[in-house]
Chains A and B, each alone.
Chain A
Amino acid sequence: MVGKKHFLGTHITLVIVLLIVLFPLFWVFTTSIRRDNAAFSTELISSRLTLQHYKELLFKPKNLPALISDMKQAANISKQYKDWDEDRIERAISGFINQFSHNLLKTEEALNRTDADIGQLEQFYAQKSQETMDTFLSALPQLEKDYELYGRQRLNELDPIGSILLDAKIIDHISTQGFASEVLPLLATRFPELSEAHAFSLNEVNKSLERARGELASLFSSAKLTEETRLSLSNSIDAFETIARAPGFSYTKWLREISIKLYNPLNGTFSSSTEGELPQRWEAFKEAQKSIAREIESDLKTLDQTLKTVAETVNEKKAREVDYYLNAWQTHAEELAELQKTLKQNKERELSTRIEQEALDNDLALLRSQLSVQMTLQEKALGIIETYLAQPDKTSTDKLLLERWNTFYQETGNLLESIQQIEMSDGELVKSGLLPVKESLSKIRDHQDRLRQLSGYSAIDDAIQVYQNTFPVLKTALEDIRQTIESQSKAGSVLVDIAFESDVIEKAIAYRNEEIGALSTKIAFLQNRILESNRDFDFFFLQSTLKNARDWKGISLFSQRSVQYLSLYPQELRGPVNTPDQSIDHLNQLRTLIDSFGDQKESVYATTGLLEADVKAFEERSPLYISLRKKGSQIKILELEEIETHYTQAAADFSSSLNRTGRRSSDLSKIDFFLPVKGALRNIDKSIFELMQYWDKKPEQFFMLWLLNSMIIAIVTSFITVAVCSFGAYPYSRMRFPGRKNGLLLLVLLQMFPSIMSMVALYSLLRFTGMLFPFLGLDTQGGIIFIYLGALPFNMWLLKGYFDTIPNEIEESALIDGATRFQTFYKIVLPLSTPILAVVFILCFMSTFNEFVLARIMLQSPQNYTFAVGLQSFSNGPYQMEWGLFTAAALIGAIPMVVVFLFMQKYLVGGLTSGAVKG
């Protein structure tokens, strides 16, 4: 601000920010005028524009399906037509019929326009195709020479492997797909004998077929036959020729396809003929055909034999030189994969076993600690016993005691045995902490006899008791230790096995890797050769196609094959093959477009004709139907059902294909090649789009109704709110009364309650008032206006603030002059507060218009929705992707609000900040 002279940076920043911020608006606008569905298009902005969406929203024109359903409703006298009298219904129906015919007329007009454009396209096509063909044909000789040269070069360059591969490919192709014409030149070069055999066999087949035709001719000449019979017999010979030339011909096939299918039905005609020799002639004819078929079969079989022998030789060579290595490589690779898998599994097992071992170690440690506890007890007892050892004898006579001691010594013996067993299986007594136990127990056993002599001393007995008490724990602990040690040794052996296995596997892997390594260069070489031989084969194939490229069809085929070839092989291997002229492809597309339109046009004309006739029939009989219906009869209206069937058929027939044509023509219009006819193409797109608007089913929407609802509700609510609030705010500003201070605070606090949750309460409130006053119930506009009147406190606050700024003196002087309080209010204060009233009105208007939640809950039928609810339901419904309609509606709804806002922003900003900025 200080000293800033250049604002270029500021301007640039602001412009960028503006572009980003206003982009959504821009997007909404462009989407609403697009013809295609923006959701599925890859273009940001489309050049196919239409105002159709706006038309639909604002004017809701009725197209054919809508009219059909209207006519049905009227003729069936349902819904609103129930109370109409006959004349009125009839007039309505004739109105619908007129619109219907009008729509049909428009359809035909659009179609005619398109037809004219198609004519233009035809001309363009004819001209361009001639040009392209001329260009191609002029370049053809050179091209043929280049191909020839390259082909011969390739054949000369073939090394043994390449040669084998090429031959194998040729034979393979012939074996699976027969002696196709494209393969014959190559066959002649590589397998001259086979080629000769084939030529010979072909010749023979031709001769046989000639004979067959000859037989037929003689049959014709010698007998009087109907036209029909002649035709079917000619067809049979044609069929014979077709199957004879196709691969896989056999006598049984001839029997099945020709003799049984085509000749048997004619047997009747011939055998019942009156002409003397005809039946025999017929039999003779059939016999001749049979023998010819058999001949052809044998010829072809010979050829087959030759082919087989050649194939054998070739394949055997290939197996030796090529397949052998490839298979070996394959096997090694597979084995390697297997081995690696097993290795991985082994590693996992090893890991888990190691984890087990660790766990067992932990267990042992636990058990050791258990033992040590017992050990302390035993030591104490042992200590006591040893002090008594030196005492004089005192034997006890207690039988029980002696028995007990016997059991004790037995148990001691058992325990020592168990320890011994463990010791034998695993010398690691130290590890398991059993050594001290063994020692202590051994000591007791050793003192056995001496102790008997001291059995009288109770202390000894106690000590023995203590010992005995440790035994249960010892027993279980010993058992556990034994098991743990067993498991550990098992785990140990498992680990050893795994290590051994892994070793073996690794050795095998190393071996496989070596083998693969050794083969790798050979394999690389072979694969390279295979690629080359494939490419060579394809090239020769292509070359023979070139030979037929003399007319448009041949040229198209050649260019298609070229494209395929180019897509398969990289730049270096292409040889003389070049990208074909794109115009060929373009012209083919144009051809499809023109042809498909021809079909669709027929279908549309047919449908419109049918529908016109149907509608006329309906028109004639509608008065009759109406009067019958009025009398209560439930008679079916056939004409309407006809109309509906025809419409549905048509919709299925041509709607999607016409749309496709339209899209195609717009796609073509973007290609430079079609620049001269760009206008025609775009017109076609446009006309088809317009045409389809009459036929496509449109979603039911009430946007204008919704907008109207919103406006009405918002305006009424605002008026009432302004009135009530100004009345309510006045005393808080001007008068002192009990409950003023707290009332204001309460008001402000009440405003804070989230209105969303008052929904349940308000819902039941509206339901209740709806029972008393129908216009104030659920799903009515009165009801929702009533609900919206709850947003008072904030507005009252604003108004009070403003009233406070109006000086009291004016009113006081008015009061002195004899005005009542109320008169000062509405004659002085209100006029002075017009600015703030306007602000409150607009704020209220805007917030009511934008309010969505309460409206969604209270309004249930689509006709009663406000704009907010309607737009949301529309955007989430089955028309979620109909962005054109949605954005057009959004724009229409947004514009009034934006305009109002922009005009009033002065007031609004002033009103808001005057409340906020203190001082």
Chain B
Amino acid sequence: MLFIRKTLFWILLILANAFLLWSSIILFNASMEGLAISLVILLFIVDFAFLHPKGYPYRYALPALGLLLVLTVFPIYFTLKTAFTNYGTGHLLTRQQVIESLLKEYVTDESAEPYDYRVFMRLENLNPTDDFLLVLERSNVLYIAEKPFVTQRDSKGNVISAYSSFTPVKNDQALLGDRTYTLIRSKQDPERILSVNAMGPKGTYSYAFFFSFEDAATLPNQKYFISEIFTAYLEKADFVDSEEKVLRFGTRFGFRKLLESRKKYGLDTITVDQNGKVSQKVVFVNNLTNRTLEESDGNFYDINRDGSRTIVGGYSSFVGLNNILEMFTDSRLSTPFMKIFGWTLTWAALSVFFTFTVGLALALLLNNPRLRSRALYRTLLIIPWAIPSFISVLVWRHGFFNETYGFINKFIVSGLMGFEPIRWLNNDFWAKVSCLIVNTWLGFPYMMTVSLGALQSIPYTFYEAASIDGAGRGLRFRKITLPLLMTSIAPLLVGSFAFNFNNFVGIYLLTNGGPEMPNSITNAGSTDILISYTYKLAFEGSRGQNFGYASAITLFIFLLVIAISSVNFKLSGTFEEVNR
């Protein structure tokens, strides 16, 4: 029994090692080094956990640590790395990928004579299948082309490129790949090809004439042809013959005819002189104009006839501390950044202040044990906290703060008080006010609850003694309640500050970051906090997504929050607990 268990144990351990190793190799190849490193660390921990006697505790922590490594450590590493690059729109691919895609670009020779084609289809019970072949024709020479093989698809499954080969037909026969093709012509009209027979190791198949643009009788099949065959196989296919001639569908004839084409960019080696050292460098050459492409700042540039440069491909490259420096020096970026940073601090502080004030006030009211239906009041007052925050924020945004139809403008401001409608979400100041209102509404129950809990821990005797000594209610509050409250609540307040510092939902869902700041090249808004600003930069850049810059800001936020949390932990004595 023990023996079986032990073998099982070793087998599983070996399997786990193998799997992790294999995954990290794949990841390294796919240039996701961060993830690979995480898995390698995990590998070490696994081995340590199961092989070393002192590693026993790690067996328990394994799943947690594994998930943490993948889902928390890896993103941190990734963000760190990206902060020093220019990863973003225009620089999404690696250099290798850009090179590959440039080498795949084709230019069709629109002036050359085109190839006509006819489609021959293998039928099954009179229904078309997806097995077909083409017969090409140019200058009275016939060619057979086989069905293209899809080489690359994009994330949605659409075809990016496909490959097929073709060969000329002699005496109605052709040999292509491992099959021999024979054309069957009609007896009455020798010009017409009825079908093509294909003989190969997998058997003999007959392909009947299915569709041709010149033949009106095949028109009913056009729809099927276009939707099932052309877009699925032919549109992006390269037809190559034995002499490396490439045929593709171009723009002049669309899907009616094939044209010769060639690669747009080729590689060439040139000698460069770099600071006295002579070396060989591989560069791109535009095959049509014979100009070399320039490469700088993470972009490949092609030179036009008038000498101006156009970008043909960009890749993500290392830019060093550029992002961080730009954050503070480039005034187009640093002014919004400073404003947003300022507002973030104000917002967090004011949110804490308002929620705490309201929460404490209500807690004081509810703290009387002789108050009837206390539980009922408390339950009802907690409801704003219970409702999922996104629902509340959306309701506030559309139903209450809408300028024209919102409840507040329609009934209170214009109706009851008769003022001009307040432009809640379109005016800098009022947008901030509305954010604070909603956040207070959302957050005061939490403060109320913890205040209630803390208030109950203050001994009643203190108040008695104070009132005997003649202290009024205000004095009792200021000298007894507040100080004792603060010792227990302070960590929570700091925690709430940190939470609101990064309170994405409260800002973004309500105002989308608020009315746009003018003169900002990034779409910064006046109620944006750092986190929503980074989000917009990374995912909503109307002027392009700038992950690099966003990551730099994230690091900044991270450091800030660590600082705030350290303060918090000091206050709550967490550090001592850890040391216990």
Contact = CB atoms under 8 A, between A and B. Distances in A.
Contacts of B505: 850, 852-853
Given A13-B365, A18-B381, A890 B395 contact: yes
A893 interface: yes
A504 interface: no
A917 B531 contact: no
Nearest to B55: A737
Contacts of B30: 768
A519 to B, nearest CB: 40
Contact of A902 (B32, B62, B379): B379
Contacts of B575: 745
B453 A917 contact: yes
Given A731-B60, A754-B531, A912-B450, A868 B388 contact: yes
Contacts of B498: 752
Interface in B530-563: 531, 534-535, 538-539, 547, 550-551, 554, 557-558, 561-562
Contacts of A871: 390-391, 394
B339 interface: no
Nearest to A20: B441
Contact of B386 (A11, A28, A740, A898): A898
A10 B565 contact: no
Nearest to B579: A741
Chain A CB within 10 A, most for which of B64, B67, B397 = B64
A728 B399 contact: no
Interface in A840-891: 846, 849-850, 852-853, 857, 868, 871-872, 875, 880-881, 883, 886-887, 890
A42 B394 contact: no
Nearest to B445: A21
B538 A760 contact: yes
A890 B394 contact: yes
Given A632-B127, A852-B390, A881-B405, A886 B398 contact: yes
Given A850-B390, A913-B453, A39 B405 contact: yes
A406 to B, nearest CB: 61
B371 A10 contact: yes
B410 A42 contact: yes
A677 B502 CA distance: 59
B399 A737 contact: no
A784 interface: no
Contacts of B550: 757, 760
Nearest to A763: B539
Contacts of B371: 7, 10-11
Contact of A917 (B70, B78, B368, B488): B488
B461 to A, nearest CB: 11
Contacts of A747: 68
B338 interface: no
Contact of B73 (A723, A750, A756): A750
A900 to B, nearest CB: 8
B370 A765 contact: no
Nearest to A897: B388
Given A754-B558, A761-B75, A14 B365 contact: yes
A7 B370 contact: yes
A634 to B, nearest CB: 6
A890 B509 CA distance: 15
A875 to B, nearest CB: 5
Contacts of B454: 913, 917
A471 interface: no
B441 A849 contact: no
B448 to A, nearest CB: 10
Contacts of B365: 10, 13-14
Interface string A36-61: 00111010100000000000000000
Interface in A796-827: 796, 801, 821, 825
B35 A768 contact: yes
Interface in B413-437: none
A400 interface: no
A760 B34 CA distance: 13
B389 interface: yes
A443 B579 CA distance: 100
A1 interface: yes
B128 A750 contact: no
Interface stretch (A104-112, A483-491, A563-571, A786-794): A786-794
Contacts of A38: 399, 405
B561 A768 contact: no
B82 A916 contact: no
A842 to B, nearest CB: 11
Contacts of B565: 748-749, 752
A3 interface: yes
A840 B550 CA distance: 32
Contacts of B457: 917
Interface string A884-919: 001100100110011001100100010011001111
Nearest to B35: A765
B491 interface: yes
A226 interface: no
A892 to B, nearest CB: 10
Contact of A724 (B63, B388, B411): B63
Interface in A536-550: none
Contacts of B57: 731, 735, 737, 740
Nearest to A909: B449
A2 interface: yes
B127 A894 contact: no
A893 B508 CA distance: 20
A31 interface: yes
A756 B504 contact: yes
A731 B61 contact: yes
B377 interface: yes
B403 to A, nearest CB: 12
Nearest to A728: B64
Given A756-B502, A916-B450, A916-B488, A793 B68 contact: yes
A748 B382 CA distance: 29
A391 interface: no
B71 A787 contact: yes
A409 interface: no
Interface in B453-471: 453-454, 457, 460, 463-464, 467
Interface in A777-791: 778, 786-787, 789-790
Interface string B75-105: 1101100100000000000000000000000
A761 B78 contact: yes
Interface string A761-783: 11011011000000000100000
A757 B562 contact: no
A307 interface: no
Given A761-B75, A768-B30, A21 B391 contact: no
A40 B463 contact: no
A890 B579 contact: no
Interface string B462-490: 01100100000000000000000000110
29 contacts: A2-B464, A4-B370, A14-B365, A28-B399, A39-B405, A44-B407, A737-B58, A745-B578, A748-B569, A749-B565, A750-B72, A753-B558, A756-B504, A760-B82, A761-B34, A764-B32, A768-B32, A768-B35, A792-B64, A846-B388, A850-B505, A852-B509, A890-B391, A890-B394, A898-B386, A902-B386, A913-B449, A917-B453, A919-B488
Given A881-B405, A913-B453, 13 more contacts: A14-B362, A18-B381, A24-B396, A25-B387, A44-B407, A731-B61, A752-B561, A752-B565, A753-B558, A760-B547, A762-B71, A764-B32, A852-B509
Interface of B: 27, 30, 32, 34-35, 54-58, 60-65, 67-68, 70-76, 78-79, 82, 126-128, 155, 220, 223-224, 362, 365-368, 370-372, 377, 379-392, 394-400, 402, 405, 407, 410-411, 441, 449-450, 453-454, 457, 460, 463-464, 467, 488-489, 491-492, 498, 502, 504-505, 508-509, 531, 534-535, 538-539, 547, 550-551, 554, 557-558, 561-562, 565, 569, 572-575, 577-579
Question: Nearest 7 CB-CB pairs, A to B?
Answer: A728-B64, A758-B75, A790-B71, A731-B57, A761-B78, A757-B554, A901-B386
